[in-house]
Structure 1
């Protein structure tokens, strides 16, 4: 078991199988030493976390939804890295989309659910550039969707 897999176990995180695409795209593209991961929605092995922040979901619900996206990103990253998360050199950038009511303004706090996870798992290499924006709707009614760029060795 590698260093990052050990850290995931220590945090009690079990990675799901990487989700297959739901439309005409690939889950990730490796270009040189960068991995571009398609948007991962707020799903767990048991359910899709659906809803609208500021309407029927609380800020805490949104943070958990973003964390679920982060776990799904790491699952895709593991596949892209040939099963070896120790190849990850840096989390470069996350792009977060929050399904929210028009007056909702805590997008950054929601996406911290994924950002905090990246730092917990990858340490200083988990610190990244980021966007956090609101959207009137997301695929399948998901509460959050996040894509990412990662550097691997």
Structure 2
């Protein structure tokens, strides 16, 4: 799969793989599994911050989740040395949504990431998933998502 070409078809570009913000590595390969550390919502203008149900609506949250998905793809691409054909499939996403206690649309927010993965990877982008609320997230971001990929 030509990741850059597929993203271009969707009108998107792959960002640089974000550097870790603390004492951890961005990814770990264990056999054929690639674990990607949580990627926080960030766009061209910087961090996407706020609390769903107070500062942001579900649509804005889904866009923030899409940005997390792009960062996850960037990390996976870096892990395979830029040869995305080494990625067999996305196995699982775990999404955290900075939200008020009353907000209940965490799955719709994380759909922003899930939908992008399927659009980019096709059937190989279908995955298991969790979407949970968090009282707060690092640096006040709206969304953080981690991933597990299977490699060939």
**How far 1:46 sits from its partner (Å)?**
2.0
Paired residues for 1:77-116 under 5 Å: 77-116=76-115
TM-score (norm 1): 0.97
Give the total of aligned pairs. 152
Aligned match of 1:23: 22
Instruction: Verify: 1:38 aligned to 2:31, yes or no.
Output: no
Aligned match of 1:134: 133
Q: How far apart, CA to CA, are the structure 2 residues paired with 1:127 and 1:18?
A: 22
Q: How far apart, CA to CA, are the structure 2 residues paired with 1:152 and 1:9?
A: 23
Tell me if structure 2 keeps the 8 A contact 1:5–1:85: no
Q: How far apart, CA to CA, are the structure 2 residues paired with 1:45 and 1:27?
A: 20
Q: CA RMSD in A?
A: 0.9
Paired residues for 1:113-128 under 5 Å: 113-128=112-127
SS of match in other structure, 1:12: coil
Tell me if structure 2 keeps the 8 A contact 1:107–1:134: yes
For structure 2, which runs of at least 5 residues remain unmatched after alignment? Answer: none
Paired residues for 1:52-63 under 5 Å: 52-63=51-62
Runs of 4+ in 1 over 6 A off after TM superposition: none
For structure 1, which runs of at least 5 residues remain unmatched after alignment? Answer: none
SS of match in other structure, 2:39: strand
Q: How far apart, CA to CA, are the structure 1 residues paired with 2:43 and 2:151?
A: 25
TM-score (norm 2): 0.97
SS of match in other structure, 2:96: strand
